[in-house]
Structure formats: C-alpha cells, structure tokens
Amino acid sequence: MPYADLSHPIRSAMPVFPGDPPVSLAPHATADADGYRVTAVDCGSHTGTHVDAPSHTESEGRPIDDVPVSRFVWDAVRVDLRGRDSRTPIRPADLPTSDADAVVLQTGWDAHWGDPEYFDHPYLTPAAADHCVGQGYDVAIDALNVDPTPTENATGDEPEGFQAHHALLGNDRLVVENLANLASVPERFELVAAPLKLADGDGAPVRAFARYD
C-alpha cells in the first residue's frame, strides 16, 4: 500500500498564524559534548501541520486529549480547488457530497509555504462550513487557515473572525490545517493525522500522511 507524507517539517522561523508563538529549535545536548542529542523545541500548539480541537474556539469544546484516537483516521475525499486567486472564497457548490469522513481542500497554497502570499489563501465561507457539518465531514486544508487570515490584503466583504472554525468546531467537527503534498494522492484516500496528546490541549502538531490503494 503506498504512503505519502502530507506534513511540513517543523523548523525554526517557520510560518505561523499572525501573533502565534514563533518556532525555535535549538541544541540542548549534543553527541560530541554529552554523548547523546536532544533538541529544545519552543512552539505553539498550532505549529505547522496540526489538528484543531473543538476547545480551540469553543468555550465548552472538548480538548485534544479527550478526542478518541479513532477520530484521527479518516476516509477522505480530496477536492481540487487549485488555480484560484488569493483570498477567494470556497462556497458550498465547490464541495462534494459523499460518504467520506473528511473533505480535504486542495488549494495548492502549500506551494507558497514560506512566502508572504501564504497568508492570503482561499478560505471556507460560513455556508461552506455549514455544508461540511451537514455532510458529517471533518475538514482538512493545505493552507494556514479555514477562515481568512488577517493581512493588509483583506477585503471588506470577507467573513470576520473565525466563523468557519465556530461552525465546524462548535459541532465537534475537527480541522486539520497546513497540509502539504496533496498532489501526490488520489481523490479518495485514508488520511492519518494523530496529534500530540497535550493535556487540555486546544490542538497539536501532527505527522499527517496518506495511505491508498
């Protein structure tokens, strides 16, 4: 069975959501000096490829360590949304109706990783998020955010705040963000993205990968 890695590597000074903690990896112990190697990792809970728990935006939402591990393995359907302009909305008509557990939004925005344009990604409209809830989908995306990310390029007609997050997480639908390499997988595949088990965590980094026939 083929596998495909869908994660960005975690490294110092990598992209993060505006205002989130910067990422730093630094030697703590080295093989030459200490006989073993340990790296000090300083980062936020939504660093890199990660899963959002309902408690990320919902005061009564459950934390990541209360989500059963079975929820982090999905029968996923990929929808190809590449070729769109910056900050374009993803609407219900753009999304499939299927028996999958998760919809994976392939915007192609992982190609902008590390560039300023990465923050001006396509985003889910509140109505599209409601469509996903109605279909019973968890949602994954190869961009920073399912909502519009605030930048100087934001327009007045964009949804404000975290409306897609509230619609999804408020209905116990999980969100996976910052996927990569979706061009390597078929339309239907198994997505695995098990997060670190952070106590009372609002989310956590993952090593996401695909398995397919």
pLDDT digits (tens, 9 = 90+) for 122-163: 999 999 999 999 999 999 999 999 999 999 999 999 999 999
**Catalytic positions:** 56
Give the number of C-alpha atoms closer than 13 A to the C-alpha of residue 38, restricted to the C-beta side: 7
- For residue 207, the model assigns a pLDDT of 98
Reported as a single tens digit per residue, the pLDDT across 107-124 is 999 999 999 999 999 999
Give the pair of three-digit tokens for residue 83.
């070729």
Give the pair of three-digit tokens for residue 68.
């059963």
The residues pairing with 176 across neighbouring beta strands, listed in sequence order, are 51, 140
Average per-residue pLDDT for the chain: 98
Q: Give whole-number Cα distances, 169 to 18, 55, 105, 137, in Å.
A: 20, 8, 17, 11
Question: Which domains does the chain possess?
Answer: 3-7+46-211 (3.50.30.50)
- How many percent of the chain have pLDDT more than 70? 100
Residue 206 phi/psi, 5° resolution? Answer: -135, 160
Question: Do 162 and 31 meet the contact criterion of CB atoms below 8 Å apart?
Answer: no
- For residue 131, the model assigns a pLDDT of 98
CA angle, residues 43, 122, 50, in degrees to nearest 5:
25
- For residue 7, the model assigns a pLDDT of 98
- For residue 68, the model assigns a pLDDT of 98
Question: Do 195 and 64 meet the contact criterion of CB atoms below 8 Å apart?
Answer: yes
Give the pair of three-digit tokens for residue 90.
């993803």
Say yes or no to pLDDT of 98 above 90: yes
Say yes or no to pLDDT of 85 above 90: yes
Say yes or no to pLDDT of 1 above 90: no
Q: What is the band of 4 on the pLDDT scale with cuts at 50, 70, 90?
A: very high
| Calpha distance 149→49 (Å, rounded) | 16
